[in-house]
Copies of this chain bind each other. A is one copy, B any other.
């Protein structure tokens, strides 16, 4: 009969061999995958930094090696977390503003990827890895079922109660007014003071020019532009500029 101490020896030897061979194989496989993942992740995180700080401009598609990164960013917890923190900053500022009684304190919102989310569209169109297709995007717009960006709806509702005038300034065309209004209402937005679209005379203008011109008109009408919220720098830069600008994340596309 094999003495008990031998059984014990086999027991531990077996455990050790099984453990270490499995660990070796796992480690090998993991290392190969992890190093490619880590290198792409580092690059794509830096690419996103450049995009979100307006260093990278005029890009047409997400870099091929960042397709997984952007997919994961948009679908996972990071996009929601980033928008939440921007909204927290926006609210902290809004609460510090002394609102006058004249109804002229305006907060300007962009629409796409700011009030409304087109993530359901981009999710089945490669999350910005494919060149923008105006036809299919307009078909999606015409459905009128883009959901609210949750954090923006929270911001919008509190600003409205505080007495800000909500001005919606979108790069969408005047022809899309009806479906856009319906979509906004369906998503939970209401009581905006005005909803401004691109007119025929604005076609071909860069967003930053079109939106600056409209801000100038708003100021001429007596509005004080307290803040602007948008996912593109072209929503925020140019003159006149809001007192504070809030940049929402968007690593899927660039609008000049």
Contact = CB atoms under 8 A, between A and B. Distances in A.
Nearest to A3: B2
A13 B244 CA distance: 66
Interface residues of A, number: 42
Interface string A216-246: 0000000000000000000000010000111
A49 interface: yes
A78 B12 CA distance: 43
Query: What is the total number of copies of this protein in its complex?
Result: 2
B45 A78 contact: yes
A49 B82 contact: yes
Nearest to A245: B54
Given A45-B78, A46-B82, A82-B46, A56 B14 contact: no
Interface string A85-128: 11001100000000000000000000000000000000000000
A7 B2 contact: yes
A213 interface: no
A75 interface: no
A54 B233 CA distance: 11
A165 B86 CA distance: 38
A1 interface: yes
Contact of A15 (B19, B49, B57, B84): B19
Interface in A41-62: 42-43, 45-47, 49-50, 52-57
Given A53-B247, A55-B89, A239-B239, 17 more contacts: A2-B2, A10-B10, A10-B11, A10-B14, A12-B14, A19-B19, A42-B77, A46-B82, A46-B84, A49-B52, A49-B86, A50-B86, A50-B89, A55-B246, A55-B247, A56-B89, A57-B244
6 nearest A-B residue pairs (beta carbon): A15-B18, A11-B14, A46-B85, A53-B247, A46-B81, A14-B15
Interface of A: 1-2, 7, 10-19, 22, 42-43, 45-47, 49-50, 52-57, 77-78, 81-82, 84-86, 89-90, 239, 244-247, 249
